Structure 1
């Protein structure tokens, strides 16, 4: 008997049905072995810190900390739990640890433990919506307690005459006796030899400046460590230091080393000079011990490698244009600055054209993030930056005084 095409099709369908039945497969809606439906859509969530504006704190300091939480692109519902944490856990305390959001913001208070300078720690925050979790983290740095701002004046100008900038410098010091000023006096552009002679006008100006009643102002000698022929030898630099002492006896409180390098190649050179200066006593005789040892300020003009912090009491980590200074930031490459007092850093800013520009520069230096304690700004431009005092000299002193006393800044 011949098998028809219809019969073959029927047999095939029956065999397929039997096979499906054996495997449990069926088209019935009542079969519990059917693939599960897809999970419900989860709500996207985002979280980011909105405080602090500063991530450099001092031991024992407390500050508010807040995170913004968004769900489905909108402000998170009130009561959304946000969990904060600290790593390492002993670095700081949080109160509360798991606040709930109000108007999309979760707030807590961070209190730093008694950590050593240059310590770091992290703060994290997380929030969850259905099965999605979002988080953010911050790195904090710890610096020593803030010291009052001081003024560092590159007083490379002439001392001749009653109307010289030195006279203005001295009158300003008398007007603001609470503002400590360190003036850098320059004789023969920082290169003195055995045949050099004292500048009598400069000597008198230094004495007048230091004699201002009620002040603790200093004068340090400008020393060039490089010239047109390259680096000066250690012997020549030491000779300049000795001749400053010979020509201006009992008047100098230390030295300003201009042209300091930034890499480790010349570290030994500056270490030798630093040790030589520190061996000079107050009054510049041999055999000093701290705190009477002379002050050493180095001027690399930018952030050097960290080891240079050991060859100067203060490093000028910025010397340049006021506008560019607003972008200066020691993080992340030079966070070693937080191991030192703010008085271990200085800045010299030129082309701060207006009093307002000056105040912006000084306020930037005073930020914990910059950790800079010796400041100077002038309206004079590059090429003659330090040839006189700024037109807003009195306002500069008043600005520093106001910041130190937490008072409103003087009007410009």
Structure 2
């Protein structure tokens, strides 16, 4: 989900057929919380989109900041934006959580380079945390040989946790992985989980309400696609991002559909490719956060 947005993964494993959730999966399908709104804001400090986000009532639950695809310095101007956004109060009474954007090139980017990008957000000159965690983009959805790709992302999550704890143990870290499609369930295995939340849909409204939904948030190489509810006792493990949404009614349909498909976070925008994440939706953020608060 860079500024030049990647599309939904096009190559599907032919052996992965949509299957019904197990009884245990179905039993866990009702989240503890309702739906919340998480927004990628791929703009520069002072952009009208950030002004709209600050004014939203209720506030959005998550905002992703993206300084030059994560490679530009997270300097004082960015820190000020983050600090202001974190003062927003959501429908649940919590404060907005701000995440820094880091790309991973499907697991091929060197760990050292990724850690340098993480440090850009977490190791600031004033020694304070201005973000609540990291949003990893261009994430590989496959386990890899002997779970090598999964373990790459697991090590990055541990680095974020350790670094944030070293700066300010009082801040609850949040790590998000964005494959933009269903993730292999090895990524959610206890003791090896690579993120708190996974973006398991990033695509158009037409695909989301048509044939673009694969049938689940996670997949297993043998069993196929399933909801992933058994990995998600808090109801916040999955996040759906929908663009090219035609109107307010379709926005509401997107959010309701996201919740019904097991998402704890969602976002719908009327903007489209090549970058749906650099402008406010015409219905503004408050309409979306208010509607989401009625779901669940």
Which TM-score applies when normalising by structure 2?
0.77
1:120 is matched with 23
- 1:74-153 matches, cutoff 5 A: 120=23, 141-143=26-28, 145-146=30-31, 147-153=33-39
Q: Tell me how far apart the structure 2 counterparts of residues 301 and 231 of structure 1 sit (CA, whole Å).
A: 17
Determine which of 158, 179, 189 is the counterpart of 2:44.
Answer: 158
Residue in structure 1 matched with residue 162 of structure 2 by the alignment:
279
Equivalent pair of 2:121/2:130 in contact (CA under 8 Å): no
Report the CA distance between 1:144 and its aligned residue.
Answer: 5.3
- 1:353 and 2:246 correspond: yes
CA–CA distance in structure 1, aligned partners of residues 51 and 142 of structure 2: 39
Is there any run of 5+ residues in structure 1 with no aligned partner, and where?
A: 1-54, 57-117, 122-139, 405-412
Distance 1:353 1:253, change over 3 A: same
**Cα distance, 1:267 vs structure 2:** 1.2
Report if the CA contact (8 A) 1:315-1:344 is conserved.
yes
Unaligned runs of 5+ residues in structure 2 are 1-18, 218-222
- Partner residue of 1:236? 113
Distance 1:403 1:392, change over 3 A: same
Per residue, is there more strand in 1 or in 2?
1
Larger radius of gyration: 1
Q: Deviations over 1:58-99 (max 9, x none)?
A: xxxxxxxxxxxxxxxxxxxxxxxxxxxxxxxxxxxxxxxxxx
| Equivalent position of 1:245 in the other structure | 122
Provide the rounded CA distance (Å) in 2 between the counterparts of 1:197 and 1:251: 10
Aligned position for 1:395: 287
Q: Which residue of 1 aligns with 2:271?
A: 380
Cα 1:362–1:197 change in 2 (3 A) is closer
Is the 8 Å Cα contact of residues 100 and 134 (structure 2) preserved in structure 1? yes
Alpha-carbon offset, residue 244 of structure 1: 1.3
Decide which moves more: 375-384 or 205-214: 205-214
8 Å Cα contact 2:44/2:67 also seen in 1: no
CA contact (8 A) 1:302 1:318 kept: yes
CA distance in 2, matches of 1:167, 1:197: 19
Are 1:159 and 1:165, in contact at CA under 8 Å, matched by a contact in 2? no
Cα offset, 1:216, TM superposition = 1.6
SS in 1 for 2:141: coil
Shift of 1:363: 0.7
- Distance apart, 1:202 and its partner CA: 2.5
Q: Tell me the number of residue pairs that the alignment of Structure 1 and Structure 2 aligns.
A: 253
Q: What is the CA RMSD across the aligned residues, in angstroms?
A: 2.6
Q: Distance in 1 between matches of 2:39 and 2:61?
A: 7
Quick one: higher RCO (CA 8 Å, sep 6+), 1 or 2?
2
Distance in 2 (CA, whole Å) between partners of 1:244 and 1:188 is 13
Verify: 1:189 aligned to 2:72, yes or no. Answer: no
Quote the Cα distance in structure 1 between the aligned partners of 2:160 and 2:254.
31
Question: 1:131-170: CA deviations, max 9, x gaps?
Answer: xxxxxxxxx8221542121111001112226xx2111001
Alignment of 1:330 with 2:244, yes or no, is no
